Amino acid sequence: MPNDLITKNNVNITPLIESLVELVKDKDATGELADFQNCTLPAKDSPDWKLISGVLCNSVVEWASMNKDRDVNSMDLIQHMQSDIGYILKRLGLS
């Protein structure tokens, strides 16, 4: 379809964007959107950034070392990182 949003690697992200738009509409209707807009990123010297970057870098290195000399699907890296991202969210108190 001509209105589909296709990334450079041929992934159709239209359903994701449509879901995001609906979520924003719902949050706006319930008054929760203002709370979401007041969120801020940690300061550049915050220990949170050290935690985030350290965990993500460790995840990539760990996956690479576990899969060296193996023919693997690149999506396996994403799946491997999902648990580490969950860990970050828990440590930051976001889940």
The 10s digit of each residue's pLDDT in 39-88 is 676 777 788 888 888 888 888 888 888 888 888 887 788 788 888 888 88
SS3 68: coil
Query: Tell me, what's the pLDDT at 65?
Result: 86
**pLDDT beyond 70 at 1:** no
CA distance 32 to 1: 33
State the pLDDT at residue 36: 65
Query: Residue 6 to residues 2, 22, 48: CA-CA distances in angstroms?
Result: 10, 19, 33
pLDDT band, very low/low/confident/very high, at 94 (cuts 50, 70, 90): low
SS (H, E, C) 31-65: CCHHHHHCCCCCCCCCHHHHHHHHHHHHHHHHHHH
Spatial separation of the C-alpha atoms in residues 48 and 27, rounded to whole Å: 27
* Full-model pTM: 0.46
